[in-house]
Amino acid sequence: MGDRDPLAVEANLGAGVYALRGLTLVRGEGARVWDAEGRTYIDCIGGHGAAILGHAHPAIARALSEQAARLIACPGTFGNDVRAELLEALARVTGFPRFFLCNSGAEAVEAALKFARLVTGRPGFVAAMRGFHGRTLGALSVTWEPKYRRPFEPLLPEVTHVPFNDLAAAEQAISDRTAAVIVEPVQGEGGVRPATPDYLAGLRALCDERGALLIFDEVQTGFGRTGRWFAFHHYGVVPDLLALAKGIAAGVPMGAVAVGPRVGALPAGAHGSTFGGNPLACAASLATLDVLEQAQLPARAARLGAWALETLRKELADAPLVREVRGLGLMIGVELRRRVTPLLRALQEAGVLALPAGPTVLRLLPPLVIEEADWQRAVETVIGQIRQLEGEGGNGRG
């Protein structure tokens, strides 16, 4: 790199769509990352939740290098040993009978929307306010945030957004033109908001009654993040289509749609992807599932998450800056009464990387392998920095 500043290069040559955080990362190990000056950070961003095994996990590095030396490209029109093994593993952990493999969360959502239209012959979708499903035009159509959507209209027709956790509103919206209802069991980007059990069970019943399909977007909540293998396991409600990505291959680009029995096998040619199910990503995903299982990481996420939720709630109970602490497993949100950006900046200065979830919510998505001491320090730093901001900002209403 010489003396060129990577941030300056990216600011000049990148498309400009990312708000840069003023930090260049060059290396990682577990839940730690290092900048170019050798400074270390506790990583509670974890590649937006994708790096569930942290960074530089030896099992992932080994799976990738061995597969790279064997076979990287193999289209879906051919069989492949690693892909077949992965499909069997996915069937085991999800309980679903069929899968379409792709390369990202948005692609998984796109495929789920297309499959729902194909199977029902209906055009419409019902989605939730504050829902986030990705940035491609179909996924964007069901995403709620108007700031993301408006500049790209017209999007898909016949999409209705209804308030999350409001069953009466969903009942009004689901009609005989609804192909599917799409919802995150725990909204991520929209502020770390868990669905109520009655809501998901009620959506299931309404979809059954009216002939619509139910899509769960578990792109962020899947693969142990919430303390179970999948968030739908907390609720005992099984969707017809399950969109997966982020943690599926521990940070290697991959997505998948689990296809339930009401959808069944799709006709050849109905959909496809050049890179989808490539053996390199499949090998990384297989290794990921193996580590998650062997190390019982979903249970670990449940334990570390419950501790953090309890600690944050107790320590911040009287904090004037804090509106609410929410979460499930290692998906934690702290909603403030003001914008979260100054807190994110202060945390970064203090050596902890955290995410926003909307304008006022702090979100923590650490790797499920984070060392307990690091997790404790991250949570203590969050509490300390909130207290400090309160000290600086008087009553904290900024």
Separation between Cα atoms, residue 134 and residue 78, nearest integer Å: 29
Max Cα–Cα distance, the chain, nearest Å: 64
Closest-CA residue to 264 (of 283, 241, 282): 241
User: Which of these is catalytic: 96, 125, 132, 232?
Assistant: 132
Closest-CA residue to 91 (of 287, 220, 242): 242
User: Which of these is catalytic: 96, 115, 223, 246?
Assistant: 246
Contacts to ligand PLP by CB under 6 A: 104-106, 109, 132-134, 184, 188-189, 217, 219-220, 245
Residues 327, 394 contacting (CB under 8 angstroms): no
Nearer to ligand PLP, 134 or 277 (CB): 134
User: Which of these is catalytic: 217, 223, 240, 374?
Assistant: 217
- Calculate the alpha carbon distances from 51 to 18, 135, 223, 245, 316 in Å: 19, 20, 11, 11, 28
Shortest Å, Cβ 155 to ligand PLP: 16
Closest-CA residue to 188 (of 130, 144, 108, 107): 130
Nearer to ligand PLP, 185 or 315 (CB): 185
Nearer to ligand PLP, 133 or 193 (CB): 133
- Known catalytic residue at 217: yes
- Known catalytic residue at 115: no
Shortest Å, Cβ 133 to ligand PLP: 5
- Calculate the alpha carbon distances from 102 to 48, 71, 212, 282 in Å: 18, 18, 24, 10
Nearer to ligand PLP, 112 or 292 (CB): 112
Query: 7-29 burial string, b = 16+ CB within 10 Å, else e?
Result: eeeeeeeeeeeeeeeeebbeebe
CA neighbours closer than 13 Å in the CB half-sphere of residue 175: 8
Query: 306-322 burial string, b = 16+ CB within 10 Å, else e?
Result: eebbebbeebbeebebb
Shortest Å, Cβ 246 to ligand PLP: 6
Shortest Å, Cβ 135 to ligand PLP: 6
Nearer to ligand PLP, 43 or 217 (CB): 217
- Known catalytic residue at 230: no
Separation between Cα atoms, residue 143 and residue 136, nearest integer Å: 10
Shortest Å, Cβ 23 to ligand PLP: 20
β-pairing, 193-194 with 186-187?
A: antiparallel
Shortest Å, Cβ 110 to ligand PLP: 9
Residue nearest to ligand PLP (CB): 105
Nearer to ligand PLP, 252 or 386 (CB): 252
- Alpha-carbon torsion (160, 204, 52, 317), positive or negative: positive
Shortest Å, Cβ 104 to ligand PLP: 4
Nearer to ligand PLP, 134 or 333 (CB): 134
Catalytic residues: 132, 217, 246
